[in-house]
Structure 1
Amino acid sequence: MASSSVSVYLKDENLTQETRDLLSSLPSEKGWLVSQMYQFEGSWQAPALLQGIVNCQKHFEANDSDVILATFPKSGTTWLKALLFALIHRHKFPVSGKHPLLVTNPHSLVPFLEGDYCVSPEVKFSELPSPRIMQTHVTHHSLPVSIKSSCCKIVYCCRNPKDKFVSLWHFGRKLAPEETAEYPIETAVEAFCEGKFIGGPFWDHVLEYWYESRKNPNKVLFVTYEELKKQTEVEVKRIANFIGCGFTAEEEVSEIVKLCSFESLSKLEVNRQGKLPNGIESNSYFRKGEIGGWRDTLSESLAEVIDRTTEEKFRGSGLKFSC
């Protein structure tokens, strides 16, 4: 993938020899979005992000005051980044003032751990203001040891797999049009359900954090995109209480919810024009943000394939999705 317009996460010119040696020892498959993806610690990754995960595991040191946002790709990450930033810094940046979210894309305000580490192991996360907010897509078992052993908080957000798949499908076609042009959606659904998808298997990813949230509710908060959409203020309060910055006034909740809403963020110039440092167009992160939007893209038969897989994988877990 030689194009300079391609996301840094999909390029491989910055791979070290150490990473190339590691890749040669791992199972590999022809991928969607990337020519080749590799299975590392049970999940499938693009080479650059795999390098970022390894660097993150080796070098990242968590603080007890950190807040880590964990998601599977296209599960509400942008929205949660905005909400967490606004919540944690609401006294420093009142919503009524010149808020950073009005002029800065949420992805530039909340670092992507393995994304930042994919280019270099020398990332200065220590320079972030405390409490630090960072985001990751890695599975729970692949998190750096310091995150799991410290008192830092993990907020995990998941989304209905059909909506998540469709959101990633459209995002990917925009991100890497050459790689995805001749990859039919039927093949993509099959690969997704088999777990052979970037970041996958999806179900293993979700269940790891689900079980961790039940085992250690003071450490991991499990949030669903659907509940966040249906009762936003209730869920935002729950998140705020969990990360230690609960509300005292109802007014503040509604102001933050409005500031961080899809409708508000998607209309801002900073989220409509230009590219982020990672090479991705800012507007790629704002498509529809709807519940049940999969119906515009998936046939009933393809939706049933995902539903059957979801039912099989989540059976006995107590975890269910609407829509």
Structure 2
Amino acid sequence: MADQSIPSDDQLPQKYTPNFTYFQGFWCRSELVPNITSFQNHFQALDADIVLASKPKTGTTWLKALAFSILNRHRFPLSNSPLASSNPHDLVPYFEMTLYNNGCHPDFADVSSPRLFATHLSYHALAESIKNSKARIVYVTRNPPDVIVSMWHFATSRPERAHWPIDECFEQFCRGEEGFGPFWDHVLGYWKQSTANPNKTLFLKYEEMKGNPVGQIKNMAEFMGWPFSEEEEKEGAIDEIAEFCSLSNLKNLEVNKSGSLKTMKRQTNSFFRKGEAGDYVNFLSPSAVERYSKIVDGKLSGSGFTFKMCC
């Protein structure tokens, strides 16, 4: 297991983030450390498992809704989908924030296969059983300036953080000390795995999903081992899932307008804002975007992967 110590002086950020801990090479809320350790030590993956991985605010809620709908389309018609009465985060639980929370050791005996899980952990922090099995990983990322803005909105939706300046959020990302960050390390870990073993890890870009949801849903289904038949495609099954799982539809479901999560202390409406690509131009200055882009480009240099700014 990776070293859990505080980084050396030359690795330390300019200041610590309150209630954050540098753990196994990434930053996370201190209370999650025991959960992560328990998950790593006890989770036993099955070959049919599907793990949805993401950095916070990169399209996680959407990815969960899509993956759940793909896997359960023969069990539940969309007219009777559990997504109509439950938020995606309650239907697809996180390892580190829900399943292994507060010392829990979940029993998965009654969970039907394929089992669907989610995580914000970096690739190297996943349980070894996931890496060593045939379990499949679907990873989504997003243009980093949009991630910064989305995280700021998400954080300030809580009363205690309502007056947090966006400049402080931006600087936090520049130092790489944000939740499950640094951002560039998170992306690189899954990108390298997707190129080394594309049958194991599917690497998705939020902007491409927005531009071609039907094509990306079809791609996801094939990778997950649940491809759409020709008949399903002709009958518009993919289009129906794309429409049902669209931000506008999910956002307007009653459960996501006024409900609260069963698995986390959050109002469901805090997970739905604009979902637009390039909205960062309304909140970050061109010089700030250029500065952060240079940081990320430098960190990703030589990997074969780059972000294309939307605007």
TM-score scaled by structure 1? 0.87
Q: In structure 2, give the amino acid aligned to 1:124.
A: D
What runs of 5+ residues in structure 2 fail to find an aligned partner? none
SS at match of 1:39: strand
| Contact 1:186 1:302 (8 Å CA) reproduced | no
**1:135-284 to 2 correspondences below 5 Å:** 135-175=118-158, 177-179=159-161, 181=163, 183-248=164-229, 249-250=232-233, 251-277=236-262, 278-284=264-270
**1:8-19 to 2 correspondences below 5 Å:** none
Of 282, 286, 291, 1:296 maps to 282
| Contact 1:62 1:147 (8 Å CA) reproduced | yes
**1:74-153 to 2 correspondences below 5 Å:** 74-95=57-78, 97-116=79-98, 117-153=100-136
How many Å separate the matches in 1 of 2:297 and 2:105? Answer: 42
SS at match of 2:304: coil
Q: In structure 1, give the amino acid aligned to 2:302.
A: G
| Contact 2:6 2:22 (8 Å CA) reproduced | yes
Deviation by residue 1:193-237 (Cα, 9 ceiling, x = unmatched): 221111110000001100100000110000000000001111111
Superposition deviation, residue 304 in structure 1: 1.5
How many Å separate the matches in 2 of 1:137 and 1:293? Answer: 23
| Contact 1:154 1:219 (8 Å CA) reproduced | yes
TM-score scaled by structure 2? 0.90
Deviation by residue 1:267-322 (Cα, 9 ceiling, x = unmatched): 00000112113110100000111100111211222211211112211222221222
How many Å separate the matches in 2 of 1:136 and 1:71? Answer: 7
Q: In structure 2, give the amino acid aligned to 1:44.
A: W
How many Å separate the matches in 2 of 1:267 and 1:179? Answer: 26
How many residue pairs get aligned? The number is 295
Superposition deviation, residue 179 in structure 1: 4.6
| Contact 2:48 2:114 (8 Å CA) reproduced | yes
Change (3 A) 1:48 1:125: farther
Task: Give % identity.
Answer: 43
SS at match of 2:80: coil
What runs of 5+ residues in structure 1 fail to find an aligned partner? 1-21
Superposition deviation, residue 144 in structure 1: 0.3
Deviation by residue 1:26-61 (Cα, 9 ceiling, x = unmatched): 469531xxx221111110010122222111101111
Superposition deviation, residue 118 in structure 1: 2.5
Of 211-220 and 194-203, the range deviating more from structure 2: 194-203
SS at match of 1:222: strand
How many Å separate the matches in 1 of 2:34 and 2:247? Answer: 32
How many Å separate the matches in 2 of 1:179 and 1:98? Answer: 37
Change (3 A) 1:243 1:298: same
SS at match of 1:291: coil
Superposition deviation, residue 180 in structure 1: 6.2
How many Å separate the matches in 2 of 1:36 and 1:73? Answer: 17
| Contact 1:266 1:286 (8 Å CA) reproduced | yes
| Contact 2:148 2:169 (8 Å CA) reproduced | no
Q: In structure 1, give the amino acid aligned to 2:153.
A: H
